Structure 1
Amino acid sequence: MSPQQKALFLPKKQGNFELGSRSIPSPGAGQVLVKIQSAALNPVDYKIKYTGMIVTDYPTVLGTDITGIVEEVGEGVDNFRKGDRVLAHGKFANDFTAFQQYTLTAASFTAKIPPGESFDSAATVPVGLDTALVGLYGNHFGAGLTPPWTKSTSGHESNKPIVILGGSSSVGSYAIQLARLSGFYPVITTASPSNEDLVRDYGASHFFDRNLSGKQLQAAINKITDSPIRIVYDAISLPETQPVGWELLANNGTLVLTLPALVKEDEGKGRKVIEAFGNPHAPKNEELCSSSWAVVEKWLSEGTIRPNKYQVLPNGLEGIIGGLERMRLGQVSGTKLVAHPQETQ
């Protein structure tokens, strides 16, 4: 019998989470077996539970933000070895998810954690960073900008303005940091007033209250820059934020969303709306994300990319259940929730 591990299951569509056990998988070619130390929670995890989206096979194990210790490497993996501390972006297949004690990861979307970074902080990186990154630089699921790591000099978007709605969210925080890396200026963001210092720390040059109307925000931005806003990244993408982003956007600009579009593209002005699909395992994202994951360790080591603030949940895998409910009820702001699967009783 294969060695067993504890896992948090969603036993059926729109069911209730249950703690159970499953076999520890073995890595195939290009894969790494990781003993999970920290797993971060994402909004998609509770949305799957309540709507039944994405997942078709049950029982299922959720979670895609992974950090841990390399236990074993598969054939052809020569950049990791047993004992390495790593972070990785999982996928929704039970052998590759985060809400369990061991998981497989794709070596291409795994990176070493530098010595100064904890498992908890690094767990806040994969999904948020990849979603921000694909939304800005992806040719299929993004605005198609030139990635700043592809040439020796960054600053491809030097002195062009960008607006990021929801800068204190996980995706928003990484979008701010990448925008800064690409040379955008001013980097304008919205958030709750209580998160102003946080978004400025991430690199926003200008902050506005998220409760401003579209017209109020437009007027405020006009006082900062008279350059056209060609990129708006709406990291919230709710019915109330999408029209605001659309109003701000100049002719031939791109509105990047994290949820399905509610605004309609207008051919006369040439404005586009794109839903960022930050899954690195998607064939159209593989090349972009393989090249970005190759520099994640360097970015974290140098402080080029800073992880999110986080809060650790109690009770191992069982703590995830209450954490997801808090997220669904809007009780989490400017912070990622992180669980420790190895502490499961």
Structure 2
Amino acid sequence: MIAFDTYVTDRGFYVQEYPWTLGFSGAGTIKRLGAKVNGLSVGDRVTFFGMGPSRSKSLQECSVQPRSVVSKIPDSLSLEEASTIPDNFVTSFYTLFNQLALPLPSSFPAQTPPPLSKTPILVYGAGSTAGVYAIQLLHLAGYKKILATASKKHHEYLRSLGATDTFDYNSSTLVEEIAKTVGEDGKVLIAVDCITADGTLAILGKIVSPLGKIALLLPIKEGNAVIGGQEQRMYFEVAEDSNPFPKGTKIVYVRTFNYQKDEYLKQNLMPKILPRLLDSGYIKPTQVRLLEKGSFKERVGTGLDLLRNNQISGEKVVVKVP
């Protein structure tokens, strides 16, 4: 489960009909295949990105998916671990190699360094699940200066994934610390905001170069963090009269659900690229907060409360379906 699920339950966000089932990522075993499905067999263990209607969501006994959002997983990966991957992995991959237009390596790890391999790239909110995958993908793509902001308890973990410099986003001197690490004019040319709230935009406005690009993982949240409930306003574009970024900075608004408009990603990202990365061990899942006690309703309720109250950091809430 993700914070987005609280937007669905508390605000009816993205709900297309009622009743509506929750769960954007899941994992399980294939029970039946359509006539034209290739590369999978009944009994295969898979993970999937359930971004379609209710019948495609994960919080139910059986889920129906198009082939383009399903990845076979290796025996070394548990279903619980696998279920943490798809939504945020896809978000990070799409953000970096489509929305920010970083060159897509012909293989992972990249055999040759990309053109901007030594250019500092900032991942703000790197302790989030989207941030964790962004760090791993940048490292695999050959980038040598990966800056990550997160709470201190995540720094060692993020460095193990490929972050070269870590910063405590609670630090009162965060802007100065990043500027010192970047050098020259102290401004970052490429940044990803994995939190995307009023408070994070204000900070990043002091860090990103007027010649740079910043990707905002939508929606933009009111305040300083992601919280559940109806009291948090959300919007999808920075107002011109309150834009905190220097004039010239390119703002990229990331809508993950649009990723399949890229035909290459539709045909390859989940069916081929992710399985190879998992088989090789190059992509590692985030930590799991497994909910398996109590009734199914109680498990889901507990997960939603954890997300609403911002009690999850560096983990993904996983509800085991009875």
* TM category, shorter: 0.7 to 0.9
Instruction: Give 1:305's match in structure 2, choosing from 260, 268, 283.
Output: 283
Instruction: Give 2:199's match in structure 1, choosing from 229, 232, 240.
Output: 240
Question: Which runs of structure 2 are paired with 1:83-162 in the superposition (5 Å)?
Answer: 83-138=43-98, 142-149=99-106, 153=111, 155-156=113-114, 157-162=116-121
Deviation at 1:42, TM superposition (A): 0.9
Question: Which runs of structure 2 are paired with 1:1-345 in the superposition (5 Å)?
Answer: 41-138=1-98, 142-149=99-106, 153=111, 155-156=113-114, 157-213=116-172, 216-226=173-183, 228-258=187-217, 259=219, 260-262=236-238, 264=240, 269-279=247-257, 283-293=260-270, 294-314=272-292, 315=294, 317-318=296-297, 319-341=299-321, 343=322
Q: 1:60 to 1:73 in 2, by over 3 A?
A: same
* 1:134-167 superposed Cα distances (whole Å, 9 cap, x missing partner): 11122xxx21222224697353231111111111
Q: Decide whether the 8 Å contact of 2:93 with 2:134 is kept in 1.
A: yes
Give the whole-Å Cα distance in 2 for the aligned partners of 1:217 and 1:267. Answer: 17
Give the whole-Å Cα distance in 1 for the aligned partners of 2:183 and 2:141. Answer: 20
The structure that is helix-richer by fraction is 2
Deviation at 1:183, TM superposition (A): 2.1
Structure 2 letter corresponding to 1:97:
K
Give the whole-Å Cα distance in 2 for the aligned partners of 1:123 and 1:154. Answer: 32
Structure 1 letter corresponding to 2:281:
G
* 1:74-131 superposed Cα distances (whole Å, 9 cap, x missing partner): 1211210100000111124011111101001111221111121111111111001111
Q: 1:303 to 1:75 in 2, by over 3 A?
A: same
Give the whole-Å Cα distance in 1 for the aligned partners of 2:125 and 2:96. Answer: 15
The CA RMSD measured in Å over matched residues stands at 2.1
Structure 1 letter corresponding to 2:136:
Q
Give the whole-Å Cα distance in 2 for the aligned partners of 1:196 and 1:316. Answer: 36
Q: Decide whether the 8 Å contact of 2:182 with 2:188 is kept in 1.
A: no
Give the whole-Å Cα distance in 2 for the aligned partners of 1:321 and 1:116. Answer: 30
Deviation at 1:289, TM superposition (A): 4.2
Gaps in structure 1 of 5+ consecutive residues: 1-40
Give the whole-Å Cα distance in 1 for the aligned partners of 2:211 and 2:119. Answer: 14
Give the whole-Å Cα distance in 2 for the aligned partners of 1:232 and 1:85. Answer: 35
Structure 1 letter corresponding to 2:141:
S
Q: Decide whether the 8 Å contact of 1:242 with 1:262 is kept in 2.
A: no
Deviation at 1:61, TM superposition (A): 0.6
* 1:292-330 superposed Cα distances (whole Å, 9 cap, x missing partner): 221111111222111100111023632011111111101
Deviation at 1:269, TM superposition (A): 3.9
TM-score, normalised with respect to structure 2: 0.85
Q: SS in structure 2 opposite 1:256?
A: strand
Query: Percent same amino acid at aligned positions?
Result: 27
Structure 2 letter corresponding to 1:220:
E
Deviation at 1:239, TM superposition (A): 1.1
Q: Decide whether the 8 Å contact of 2:205 with 2:244 is kept in 1.
A: no
Deviation at 1:283, TM superposition (A): 4.5
Q: 1:234 to 1:119 in 2, by over 3 A?
A: same
Number of equivalent positions: 296
Structure 2 letter corresponding to 1:302:
S
Deviation at 1:51, TM superposition (A): 1.5
Give the whole-Å Cα distance in 2 for the aligned partners of 1:79 and 1:254. Answer: 38
* 1:152-210 superposed Cα distances (whole Å, 9 cap, x missing partner): 73532311111111111000101111111222221111111122222222221111111
Structure 1 letter corresponding to 2:61:
Q
Give the whole-Å Cα distance in 2 for the aligned partners of 1:128 and 1:190. Answer: 17
Structure 1 letter corresponding to 2:183:
D
